[in-house]
Amino acid sequence: MIRTWTEIGRAHTNDKQELFDAAIADIAWSIPPCTLPFMQGEGIKGIVKQIGGRGVQRVGYAVTQEDMALLAVEKQYVNGLARIYALDLGSEVVFVATDFEGKEG
C-alpha cells in the first residue's frame, strides 16, 4: 500500500510520521456493524458519512503515544482498496493520511 500524508493534517503530523505509523500498525479493526467506544464511534460515523458508506469493509481506531485517537476506515473502491486515517481532536476530526492499493489487471 502507498501511504499519502494530507496537507490538511500536516500541522498535526509534521515531524511525527513515525509516531503515526506506529499507531496505524496498532489499529484494532472491526467489521461493521460493530460496537465501538462512543467518541471513536461517532468520529468514524462522521468519516463514513463524508466518504460515503457503500464499500466500507472495516473500521477501527488506535491511541497514539500522545494519547490522541487515530480513527480508521477501510473502503473498497472500484479501482482499489483505501484506508483513510483521521485524528480526533475532540472538537473536530482531521484527515491525516491515506493508504491505497490499486487493483491489479
Q: What is the pTM of this model?
A: 0.92
Q: What is the pLDDT of residue 105?
A: 52
Q: What is the pLDDT of residue 64?
A: 84
Distance CA 85, CA 5 (A): 9
Residue 35, burial from CB neighbour count under 10 angstroms (0-12, 13-18, 19+): exposed
CA neighbor of 45 nearest in space, from 100, 86, 96, 105:
86
Q: What is the pLDDT of residue 41?
A: 94
CA neighbor of 58 nearest in space, from 86, 93, 82, 40:
82
CA neighbor of 9 nearest in space, from 70, 52, 73:
70
Distance CA 64, CA 69 (A): 6
Residues of the chain with pLDDT under 70: 105
Q: What is the pLDDT of residue 80?
A: 95
Q: What is the pLDDT of residue 43?
A: 94
Q: What is the pLDDT of residue 53?
A: 83
